[in-house]
Amino acid sequence: MIIILKPNADAQKRADLCEHLVTLGLDVDVSEGQTSTVLGLVGDTSRVDMGSLRILDIVEDVKRVSEPYKKANRKFHPCDSVIAIGEHTVGGDEFALIAGPCSVESREQMLSIAADVARAGATALRGGAYKPRTSPYAFQGMREEGIEILLEARAETGLPIVTELMDVRDLPAFSEVDVVQIGARNMQNFALLKEVGALGKPVLLKRGLSATIEELLMSAEYIMAAGNEKIILCERGIRTFETATRNTLDLSAIPVLKELTHLPIVVDPSHATGVARYVRSLSLAALAAGADGLIVEVHNDPPNAQCDGAQSITPEAFAELSEAVNAMLPIVRGTTTAR
Amino acid sequence: MIIILKPNADAQKRADLCEHLVTLGLDVDVSEGQTSTVLGLVGDTSRVDMGSLRILDIVEDVKRVSEPYKKANRKFHPCDSVIAIGEHTVGGDEFALIAGPCSVESREQMLSIAADVARAGATALRGGAYKPRTSPYAFQGMREEGIEILLEARAETGLPIVTELMDVRDLPAFSEVDVVQIGARNMQNFALLKEVGALGKPVLLKRGLSATIEELLMSAEYIMAAGNEKIILCERGIRTFETATRNTLDLSAIPVLKELTHLPIVVDPSHATGVARYVRSLSLAALAAGADGLIVEVHNDPPNAQCDGAQSITPEAFAELSEAVNAMLPIVRGTTTAR
Amino acid sequence: MIIILKPNADAQKRADLCEHLVTLGLDVDVSEGQTSTVLGLVGDTSRVDMGSLRILDIVEDVKRVSEPYKKANRKFHPCDSVIAIGEHTVGGDEFALIAGPCSVESREQMLSIAADVARAGATALRGGAYKPRTSPYAFQGMREEGIEILLEARAETGLPIVTELMDVRDLPAFSEVDVVQIGARNMQNFALLKEVGALGKPVLLKRGLSATIEELLMSAEYIMAAGNEKIILCERGIRTFETATRNTLDLSAIPVLKELTHLPIVVDPSHATGVARYVRSLSLAALAAGADGLIVEVHNDPPNAQCDGAQSITPEAFAELSEAVNAMLPIVRGTTTAR
Amino acid sequence: MIIILKPNADAQKRADLCEHLVTLGLDVDVSEGQTSTVLGLVGDTSRVDMGSLRILDIVEDVKRVSEPYKKANRKFHPCDSVIAIGEHTVGGDEFALIAGPCSVESREQMLSIAADVARAGATALRGGAYKPRTSPYAFQGMREEGIEILLEARAETGLPIVTELMDVRDLPAFSEVDVVQIGARNMQNFALLKEVGALGKPVLLKRGLSATIEELLMSAEYIMAAGNEKIILCERGIRTFETATRNTLDLSAIPVLKELTHLPIVVDPSHATGVARYVRSLSLAALAAGADGLIVEVHNDPPNAQCDGAQSITPEAFAELSEAVNAMLPIVRGTTTAR
């Protein structure tokens, strides 16, 4: 952390500030310039409140030099993390294809879609049992019963299951679930993050609608600081002024995240756009941008889906997408390794 | 809800769609035009999924005519709601001044600030006991002990207390609290909203950083649908591209909300800007824009605050702000009634 | 400007960088720390490209310490600028009320509105003769004829006129105009900025829809660097995700600008919201926030306006707003001076 | 266009409205519902001001059914437009690779880069002669001399040249230029758009930083309405809250634009991210998303570039990118045609 002092800062106040910083356990480097003096803080600055320094009347500005996250930071963990899910992995050589309906609606629907996506090459099955809905009057999910149906689908297809947790009190129902999803609206539900940090299973952490990349990594850090390092990040669109798509898929986040963190990243083009016919091209774009996988909504009867039918592709479209992914993967990975 | 059909929509598909809508309990008005046909849906459309209709191949677009919220809607409840807090009210003729530190840090600090803001005209006391922090390494609040200190401050000053709930499991500690605050990051934590909907006490609901006004009202609707209609809305800045202030205070939201809902609205200029020296002018602007009150951070020693010192004003500045509010209030309310 | 070097930066490369900086006419302060080395650049850094430094492999980050604008900077010009317009001023003790229709539509309309707003206390008259329209098929303004009508309205009422310039080739028609407006879409039309920088008359510079406060000041700097220091800044709403209003009026920008610059600031609540019934409350909020004036759309027959009728208030509503402003002004200025 | 009337709208006012609409040359379909009445307008509504209708007291809302652009609309021009540039095309089977430095800095630099990118497979050469710079103190380009150098580079390499026009008065210098670029900051400089609409050569139109997709198409419509239909659209990042990249590249815009318009689309990953090392992955992502080409900044000595060195890739990196594009193109186009 760097503190830039105002020109002609009072010498006594400056001495007091340095002393205060030393009591926080920091070393202070002083650089005297003609127009400004810079204090360089050496040591653990993660507990220093930048805002409180910034309001001192001798301080011009305070700037952070190093990232505020450690366990998620590639600097301290240069190799890619690879997370095992069932017989597959996310983050290594494999490309994850997580597919399934927005919500579990019935046993028949779920088993049918599960069989379809398994046949088409999915590596995991998604489906919402507990549903975060903007309206209290909308369908809220099948809850425990939904989880039971997902487990049955896993038994039939062998696909590990990914499903969303919204309330710490529902955790007991998730004991058999393979991957616990934290939704975009809960990315900064810190109580929930701490709780999944105590689990021994992978967490798929979705980026909040207005979360910066740094905030996403700080939420991952919450889970990791609580003991669970098996985290899969998920880019799912951010909120911008553009209304042609539901949100704006931020594919630039992929190369940025690949630099900053060792955690794997999957992309959700279904929620990002809200429109099924844009899913294919953005899925391939995510792969080309360097993503480690996709999470895609697939429904056997989109017009009659209980939720988000407009963004669900059919099993046939998913099979075709899976083929396209497999055709493109060696080219992307081949060219990528030549980097 | 209005469904606009494509030109030359297949007659059989159109008949099927109308039949489907009737089975949902809706009446369908058909308007035939030269270039398009419009179906007007009459009845309770709150459970109709617009997206699923929009993807039908005969449908051009689907548009909502009425708001998706009912209990929060001024159309069905034309008079302003007035919420009692202690001996004061929010939403009527009074102007609420909720003041106090970001966090409860110690008994001495809290009692001292409480006495100061009470003397200066505060109508309620704020202070965080459970703190949502972006970093897992930052101060997380005094928790139950913080609540105890707040209750002691109430006993000494007579001011009702407002404090944030982050986790449904902490509810027992809030039994004596006057107003439960739901923070911006939890505005769509639906599990939490349902739970505070079962309480008999007022809820201060903060707008999420990237929440639209309609989403804020839908979150209020969640609480109201669960049985609790004592809701105070809070505008606290939205996330935009501008970085000169921490967030962008959206004062336009005040006249918009006054039109759409009967619920009272307070403004938090401290979190919106993150800068103490902008608090005064934006507080007066909020009053002039029609707000029902303010929630302001006040700290006796901002540079040494455990959190958000940069945005906290001193008790002296608060006293001066309180005076300015009192000078301006009759002018604003006088001119407002002439509307 | 501060350059933060990477830990263990190569000594030879570091020496080369320092030499390069010296050849740019800068002095270099070196601060050695345990974890990083910081170079402080002393001298005129306005021509240094931060990006080019940032990509050097020994550089961790480059941070600007001082603002990139000089003539607009309050640091070098501590007193408020006061701009004379006709018999009034913008930026001093007076509060500017610039009013008139979106477009000049006809002689009768313009003279009638001009007489109305003059009677109600306007200090200047606005009206568009050259209109920037999103659609090539929309009304494009009365052009030279519109300017003639504005000048006639000035002759009748004594009010100075403010009207928008879109094309450098139209400048001859503006010779008699009192204030030249640069619209939001042209805030970074640098050719236009340089040209109005050569004029001897005031410029009203509107903030672009997605312009940061710093960019607004850099555009003011363009005009000032070309020789014209009579600039009135105008906040008119920024583009955000919220759609309840056309744009989001950023009133926080007022106290921020008051700190950073000596130039006066007016607020346009009409374009910001796009809704006439929100104009009054946001006008008063702008005054309370510290603005130096308002620019408001007034039309005698809003439903039949050629453009932007939805955001125009009637002459009666303007008269009432003017009264409210006059009632509130002494309170705001009185309390402000007590700061 | 659809006008939704309020429940119990006054019959006389409704009749007056219908009569008014008929005088505008429109037919009016009336649909009576239990809760609302809908008027469907048939005819040319491009001149109807929605805002003016929306403020009538009997009107609940006004909604547009069809797009406000015609010549750019795929509905009226279903086949892809293919624009010839030199011996290549943009928009058909070929994939455009437009490469070169941000600015023309010297004859040696430009000829060297031109030779390099030609050898590596570029289909056109870019380079700025007139530079839009945020700061009046920054390098403003070599102007006419820069154009001369570009023409010499074309003579040596055979590559057509693309360069930016900022001021209508500079048009004479562009007589030999192959493609005139309109920069993001000038996307709504309507005077400039009309002028390039009178040219007989292709225009590369960049999306504004905060322009919606519809506004981009309306700006294309301006040029087309003035007579020039040879337009290449360019996505170059939009302004959002995220600061990890300079702007947020909106690749969702590609499939959306492909649906709405027949015009070709190229992507500029250099300006979008501002970071050279993200250019490769986002270039491949743009190709996978369905773009018709790329416009990429290439510089032989990025750390010493006069502008935007941080986002320029080296000629070697461009050659490798070109190879990767060629390897991926048949896969993307093959899978795309299977759509």
Higher pLDDT, A57 or C231: C231
Q: Do C167 and D168 touch (CB under 8 A)?
A: yes
**3-state secondary structure labels for all residues of chain A:** CEEEECCCCCHHHHHHHHHHHHHCCCEEEEEECCCCEEEEEECCCCCCCHHHHHCCCCEEEEECCCCCCCCCEHHHCCCCCCEEECCEEECCCCCEEEEECCECCCHHHHHHHHHHHHHHCCCEEECECCCCCCCCCCCCCCCHHHHHHHHHHHHHHCCCEEEECCCHHHHHHHCCCCEEEECHHHCCCHHHHHHHCCCCCCEEEECCCCCCHHHHHHHHHHHHHCCCCCEEEEECCECCCCCCCCCECCCCHHHHHHHHECCCEEECHHHHHCCHHHHHHHHHHHHHHCCCEEEEEECCCHHHCCCCHHHCECHHHHHHHHHHHHHHHHHHHHHHHCC
Whole-number mean pLDDT of chain D?
A: 92
Give the span between the Cα atoms of D152 and D248, in whole angstroms: 35
Nearest to B108 by CA among B48, B147, B149: B149
- The residues with which C176 forms a beta bridge, in sequence order, are none
How confident is the model at residue D239, as a pLDDT? 97
Nearest to B131 by CA among B178, B186, B192, B211: B186
Q: Say which of B256, B272, B284 has its CB closest to residue C278.
A: B256
Q: Which residue of C lies nearest to A66 if distances are taken between CA atoms?
A: C60
How confident is the model at residue D265, as a pLDDT? 98
Query: Looking at beta carbons, which residues of chain C come within 8 Å of B327?
Result: 331, 334-335
D27 at B interface, C-beta within 8 A: yes
Residue A269 to chain C, least CA–CA distance (Å) = 20
D301 backbone dihedrals φ, ψ, rounded to 5°: -150, 70
Q: What is the pLDDT of residues C142-154, one digit of tens each?
A: 999 999 999 999 9
A135 at B interface, C-beta within 8 A: yes
What separation in angstroms does the CA of C62 have from each of A33, A214, C3, C300, D153? 16, 19, 5, 55, 35
A108 at D interface, C-beta within 8 A: no
Which whole number is the average pLDDT over B231-256?
97
Query: Looking at beta carbons, which residues of chain C come within 8 Å of B287?
Result: 288
Residue with tokens 């007489």: C115
**pLDDT over threshold 80, residue C307:** no
Q: Do B240 and C244 touch (CB under 8 A)?
A: no
Q: Which residue of B lies nearest to A304 if distances are taken between CA atoms?
A: B52
Residue A237 to chain C, least CA–CA distance (Å) = 13
Q: What is the pLDDT of residues C69-80, one digit of tens each?
A: 999 999 889 999
Q: Do A328 and D324 touch (CB under 8 A)?
A: no
**pLDDT over threshold 90, residue B204:** yes
How confident is the model at residue C41, as a pLDDT? 83
Q: Do D304 and C169 touch (CB under 8 A)?
A: no
D324 at B interface, C-beta within 8 A: no
**pLDDT band at A33; cut points 50, 70, 90:** low
- The residues with which A42 forms a beta bridge, in sequence order, are A27
Q: Is residue B57 classed exposed, middle or buried when 0-12, 13-18 and 19+ CB atoms within 10 A define those classes?
A: exposed
Which whole number is the average pLDDT over C89-113?
96
**pLDDT over threshold 50, residue A62:** yes
Q: Say which of B259, B278, B285 has its CB closest to residue C256.
A: B278
Q: Say which of C273, C277, C288 has its CB closest to residue B285.
A: C288
Dihedral through CA D263, CA D268, CA D271, CA D274, nearest 10? 150
A281 near D288, Cβ under 8 Å? yes
Nearest to B314 by CA among B305, B301, B304, B324: B301
**pLDDT band at D8; cut points 50, 70, 90:** confident
Query: What DSSP designation does B290 have?
Result: T
How confident is the model at residue B336, as a pLDDT? 46
B322 at C interface, C-beta within 8 A: no
Residue with tokens 């910034």: A54
Q: Do B248 and C252 touch (CB under 8 A)?
A: yes
Give the span between the Cα atoms of A142 and D270, in whole angstroms: 47
Residue with tokens 């008259």: C125
Q: Say which of B245, B272, B320 has its CB closest to residue C338.
A: B320
B78 at C interface, C-beta within 8 A: no
D32 near D179, Cβ under 8 Å? no
Which whole number is the average pLDDT over C196-209?
97
Q: Do B328 and C332 touch (CB under 8 A)?
A: yes
Q: Do A136 and B308 touch (CB under 8 A)?
A: no
Helix, coil or strand: residue C18: helix
B125 backbone dihedrals φ, ψ, rounded to 5°: -115, 130
A134 at B interface, C-beta within 8 A: yes
Helix, coil or strand: residue C60: strand
For C304, the token pair is 């039949």
How confident is the model at residue C102, as a pLDDT? 93
Q: Do C42 and A35 touch (CB under 8 A)?
A: yes
CB atoms within 10 A of CB B288: 30
A106 backbone dihedrals φ, ψ, rounded to 5°: -165, 165
**pLDDT band at C284; cut points 50, 70, 90:** very high
Q: Say which of C65, C239, C240 has its CB closest to residue A36.
A: C65
D 254-273 residues with CB < 8 A to A: 254-256, 259, 272-273
D241 at C interface, C-beta within 8 A: no
**pLDDT over threshold 50, residue D336:** no
Higher pLDDT, A26 or C32: A26
**pLDDT over threshold 50, residue D321:** yes
Q: Do C310 and D55 touch (CB under 8 A)?
A: yes
Residue A306 to chain C, least CA–CA distance (Å) = 27
Query: What DSSP designation does C173 have?
Result: G
**pLDDT over threshold 70, residue C336:** no
Q: Say which of B42, B60, B243 has its CB closest to residue D33.
A: B42
Interface predicted TM-score (ipTM): 0.91
**pLDDT over threshold 50, residue A336:** no
**pLDDT over threshold 60, residue A337:** no
Q: What is the pLDDT of residues B286-329, one digit of tens each?
A: 999 999 999 999 999 888 787 777 889 999 999 999 999 999 99
Q: What is the pLDDT of residues A209-249, one digit of tens each?
A: 999 999 999 999 999 999 999 999 999 999 999 999 999 99
Whole-number mean pLDDT of chain B?
A: 92
Residue D132, C-beta contacts closer than 8 angstroms, at least 6 positions apart? C188, C190, D164, D166, D183, D185, D186
C226 at D interface, C-beta within 8 A: yes
How many Cα atoms within 13 Å fall on the side-chain side of residue B240?
A: 31
Give the span between the Cα atoms of B238 and B246, in whole angstroms: 9
Q: Say which of B29, B63, B240 has its CB closest to residue D241.
A: B240
Which whole number is the average pLDDT over D41-47?
77
Q: What is the pLDDT of residues B31-77, one digit of tens each?
A: 776 666 778 887 777 777 787 788 888 888 888 777 889 999 998 89
Q: Which residue of D lies nearest to B34 if distances are taken between CA atoms?
A: D42
Higher pLDDT, C64 or A223: A223
C291 at B interface, C-beta within 8 A: no
Chains contacting chain B through 3 or more C-beta pairs under 8 A:
A, C, D
DSSP result, B230-253: -EEEEE--B--S--SSSSB-BTTH
Lowest mean pLDDT among A266-270, B159-163, B331-335: B331-335
D278 at A interface, C-beta within 8 A: yes
How confident is the model at residue A104, as a pLDDT? 96
C-alpha D135: how far from chain center: 24
Q: Which residues of D90-112 are buried (b: 16+ CB within 10 A; e: fewer)?
A: bbeeebbbbbbbbbbbeeebbbb
Query: Looking at beta carbons, which residues of chain C come within 8 Å of D311?
Result: 51
Q: Which residue of A lies nearest to C60 if distances are taken between CA atoms?
A: A65
How confident is the model at residue B305, as a pLDDT? 80
C-alpha B112: how far from chain center: 29
Chains contacting chain C through 3 or more C-beta pairs under 8 A:
A, B, D
pTM higher than 0.90: yes
**pLDDT band at C135; cut points 50, 70, 90:** confident
Q: Do C331 and B328 touch (CB under 8 A)?
A: yes
How confident is the model at residue B120, as a pLDDT? 97
Interface B-D: count of C-beta contacts within 8 A: 60
C 185-214 residues with CB < 8 A to B: 210, 212-214
Higher pLDDT, B3 or B183: B183
- The residues with which D267 forms a beta bridge, in sequence order, are D235, D294
Higher pLDDT, D268 or B137: D268
Give the span between the Cα atoms of D198 and C167, in whole angstroms: 16
Interface A-B: count of C-beta contacts within 8 A: 127
How confident is the model at residue B35, as a pLDDT? 61
D252 at A interface, C-beta within 8 A: yes
Q: What is the pLDDT of residues A106-153, one digit of tens each?
A: 999 999 999 999 999 999 999 999 998 888 888 889 999 999 999 999
Q: What is the pLDDT of residues D262-316, one digit of tens each?
A: 999 999 999 999 999 999 999 999 999 999 999 999 999 888 787 777 889 999 9
Q: Is A108 left (phi over 0), alpha (psi -120 to 50) or beta?
A: alpha
Residue B319 to chain C, least CA–CA distance (Å) = 12
C-alpha C199: how far from chain center: 17
Q: Do D278 and A256 touch (CB under 8 A)?
A: yes
Q: Do B277 and C255 touch (CB under 8 A)?
A: yes
**pLDDT band at D233; cut points 50, 70, 90:** very high
C42 at B interface, C-beta within 8 A: no
**pLDDT over threshold 90, residue B156:** yes
Q: Do C51 and D274 touch (CB under 8 A)?
A: yes
How many Cα atoms within 13 Å fall on the side-chain side of residue D92?
A: 8
Q: What is the pLDDT of residues D206-221, one digit of tens each?
A: 999 999 999 999 999 9
